[in-house]
């Protein structure tokens, strides 16, 4: 992974994003403004490509499938949860 | 790896076409009751075989086995994370084995999923991302928090829910969610986070057709070390959101919460939570 850089594009994107803390949100705007922020920050399809890989559920199943389909087994070991990005 | 080669369509295509990909979470293999003894033994065998063959080996690593289960190549994560280096490594092994490509052996599916939970639970999905200024890794991170039906009722007002009803959400239950409010960092052990201040209040805005709409407001100050060693870094953020629930049954229909001006380590970040 790389440190997030304060690139101009990111800065521009941030500046046009409405900041909720600038002023308290009126009661009648809470739902729409919170929904907009959730949509803005939610994971985009290109950030979920990890899910496009056909991962075997565990190592022993992968070994079995590898033998059955005559394919090499690719194992990635890591600390934390690569599937959620908390790693 | 998740935001690097595992997001590269070139790598994804190769893994799906010619390999049986699998990942192993070290914490699960080190724990006593998460994976079977046979599964743990196989993990250990691969590691030891790599060492015996003078391949690189380690806890954060890529190992490739031939269909007979023999280790035929490895890469340290620092090298494997470089897509341009990983691709020729994969191609070379496939060419040597003469693997015939095809469809994925396992159908791809969502890898970030909620834990098992009883019917009627509130299942909250959290997404975190940096918003500039540094202080976090690139990419995004997710967490899941589940409240059982009994716990969900404790999130609601104790008495009648009418317009203007205000209350503090059960602090212990709120903590279970707020402890995950931090950007993408190396340390992902919520037990190491120290909440110094937290508040999450609800106020009913309206009740219509048996459904109450409440707004949520709060704040969080939490020490969160970037790595697994004390560094004094602190999450500071306001919180705002809303949720809809049925006062008569205690069923929660919708829950949304976002950070408000969140900072950490000199940078800005955002966390969004939604019920699924």
Interchain pair A71, B143: CB under 8 A? no
CB contact under 8 A, B108 and A19: no
Q: Does residue A78 carry a pLDDT above 60? A: yes
Question: Residue A24 has what pLDDT?
Answer: 85
Taking contacts as CB-CB distances below 8 angstroms, the residues of chain B near A55 are: 21-23, 106, 108, 111
| Chain B residue closest in CA terms to A26 | B215
Helix (H), strand (E) at residue B10: helix B9-18
Q: In this complex, is the C-beta atom of A10 within 8 Å of any C-beta atom belonging to chain B?
A: yes
Give the pLDDT score at A22.
58
What percent of chain B has a predicted confidence (pLDDT) above 70?
A: 100
CB contact under 8 A, A4 and B23: no
DSSP notation for B33-75:
SSS-HHHHHHHHHHHHHHHHTT----SSEEEEE-TTS-EEEEE
Quote the minimal CA–CA distance from B179 to chain A in Å. 13
Inside any domain, residue A3:
no
ipTM above 0.95, yes or no: no
Same domain as A87, residue A57 = yes
Residues A85 and A58 in one domain: yes
- Does A2 map to a domain? no
Q: Residue A33 falls within a domain, yes or no?
A: yes
**Cβ within 8 Å, pair A78-B25:** yes
From the CA of B150, how many Å to the nearest CA of chain A? Answer: 26
A23 contact B CB<8A:
no
Domain hosting residue A33, numbered range:
8-42
pLDDT of residue A23: 74
User: B150-206, pLDDT tens digit by residue?
Assistant: 999 999 999 999 999 999 999 999 999 999 999 999 999 999 999 999 999 999 999
Total structural domains in chain A? 2
Q: pLDDT category, A2, cuts 50, 70, 90?
A: very low
CB nearest to A50's CB, from B39, B46, B111: B111
Instruction: Tell me if A84 sits within 8 A of A50, measured CB to CB.
Output: no
Backbone angles phi and psi of B148, in degrees to 5? -65, 165
**How many CA atoms within 13 Å lie on the side-chain side of A40?**
21
Residue to substitute from B56, B92, B132, interface A, most A β-carbons within 10 A: B132
- Is pLDDT at A7 greater than 70 in this prediction? no
Q: Quick check: B222 contacting A, CB < 8 Å?
A: no
Scanning B174-203 for CB atoms below 8 A from A yields: 184, 188
Rounded to the nearest angstrom, the minimum Cα separation between A67 and chain B is 5
Distances from the Cα of A49 to the Cαs of B17, B110, B115, B255, in angstroms? Answer: 15, 10, 21, 26
- The residue extents of the domains of chain B are 5-97, 122-275
In the prediction, which pLDDT does B3 show? 86
Does residue B166 belong to the interface with chain A, where contact is any CB pair within 8 Å?
Answer: no
Is B207's pLDDT higher than 80? yes
Q: Tell me: do A33 and A63 sit in the same domain.
A: no
Q: Which residue of B has its CA nearest to A10?
A: B132
């Amino acid at each position: 992974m790389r440190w997030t850089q304060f690139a101009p594009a990111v800065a521009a994107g941030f500046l046009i994003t409405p900041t909720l803390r600038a002023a308290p949100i009126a009661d009648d705007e809470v739902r729409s403004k919170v929904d907009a922020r959730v949509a803005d920050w939610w994971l985009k399809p290109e950030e979920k490509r990890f899910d496009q890989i056909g991962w075997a559920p565990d190592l022993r199943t992968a070994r079995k499938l590898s033998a059955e389909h005559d394919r090499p087994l690719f194992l990635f070991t890591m600390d934390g949860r690569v599937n959620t990005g908390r790693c | 790896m998740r935001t690097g080669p595992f997001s590269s369509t070139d790598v994804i295509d190769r893994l799906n076409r010619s390999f049986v990909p699998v990942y192993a979470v070290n914490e699960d293999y080190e724990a006593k009751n998460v994976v079977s003894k046979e599964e743990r033994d196989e993990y250990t065998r691969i590691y030891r075989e790599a060492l015996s063959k003078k391949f690189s080996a380690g806890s954060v690593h890529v190992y490739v086995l031939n269909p007979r289960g023999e280790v035929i190549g490895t890469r340290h994560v620092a090298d494997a994370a470089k897509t341009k280096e990983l691709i020729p490594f994969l191609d070379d092994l496939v060419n040597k084995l003469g693997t015939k490509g095809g469809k994925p052996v396992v159908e791809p599916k969502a890898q970030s999923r909620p834990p098992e939970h009883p019917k009627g639970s509130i299942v909250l999905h959290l997404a975190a991302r940096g918003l500039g200024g540094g202080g976090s890794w690139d990419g995004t991170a997710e967490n899941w928090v589940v409240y059982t039906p009994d716990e969900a009722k404790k999130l609601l007002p104790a008495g009648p829910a009418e317009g203007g009803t205000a209350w503090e959400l059960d602090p212990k239950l709120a903590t279970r969610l707020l402890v995950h409010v931090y950007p993408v960092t190396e340390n992902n052990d919520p037990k190491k986070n120290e909440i110094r201040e937290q508040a999450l209040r609800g106020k009913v805005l309206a009740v219509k057709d048996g459904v109450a709409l409440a707004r949520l407001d709060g704040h969080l100050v939490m020490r969160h070390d970037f790595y697994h060693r004390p560094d004094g870094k602190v999450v500071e953020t306001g919180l705002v959101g809303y949720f809809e629930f049925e006062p008569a049954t205690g069923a929660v229909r919708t829950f949304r919460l976002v950070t408000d001006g969140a900072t950490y380590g000199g940078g800005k970040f955002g966390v969004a939570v939604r019920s699924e």
